[in-house]
Amino acid sequence: MADRPLSPHLQIWKWGPHMAVSILHRVSGGGMAIVGLGVLLWWLGALASGPAAYDTFYTHASSWYGMVVLIGLTWAFFTHMSSGLRHFVLDLGAGYELDTNRTFAVISMISGIVLTVAFWAFILLR
């Protein structure tokens, strides 16, 4: 058997914001694909089925748990978008310096929260 180097295990890696952003990017994309698609299909089905079905959808969507789901989907969207922009810049070949990468990762996570709060403040306060 050949003496091949072992692949680094998770215990070797130093955790940082760049790893958190990568994990959040995957989780938010999966969440939007599964939960977002379910909510979208329910909304479209309710729209096509008439006023009674839409009233049922609206009742659930405007309840506290419906708002939690909608705010969560909004956070997932803005987090995924911010992380996607970060990945785009990295694909261009910029931002690989450790301090720049760490700063951009933190900005990416914070901007997802700030954009979500601004979006819902605009919707609820107008």
- Predicted confidence (pLDDT) per residue in 6-17, tens digit: 666 666 777 889
- 99 in a structural domain: yes
Helix and strand tally (H, E) in the chain?
5, 0
Question: By mean pLDDT, which of 6-10, 55-59, 91-95, 116-120 is the weakest?
Answer: 6-10
Known binder of ligand: residue 80? yes
- 103 in a structural domain: yes
Segment 54-65 shows an average pLDDT of 98
- 85 in a structural domain: yes
E strand residue ranges, 43-124: none
State how many domains the chain has: 1
- 117 in a structural domain: yes
Q: Which of 68, 87, 98, 69 is nearest to 24 (CA)?
A: 87
- 93 in a structural domain: yes
Give the model confidence (pLDDT) of 66-107 as tens digits: 999 999 999 999 999 999 999 999 999 999 998 999 999 999
- 90 in a structural domain: yes
Model pTM?
0.87
Give me the pLDDT at residue 4, please.
66
- 44 in a structural domain: no
- 92 in a structural domain: yes
Rounded Cα distance between 16 and 105, Å, is 9
Query: Which domain does 91 fall in, by range?
Result: 20-32+60-125
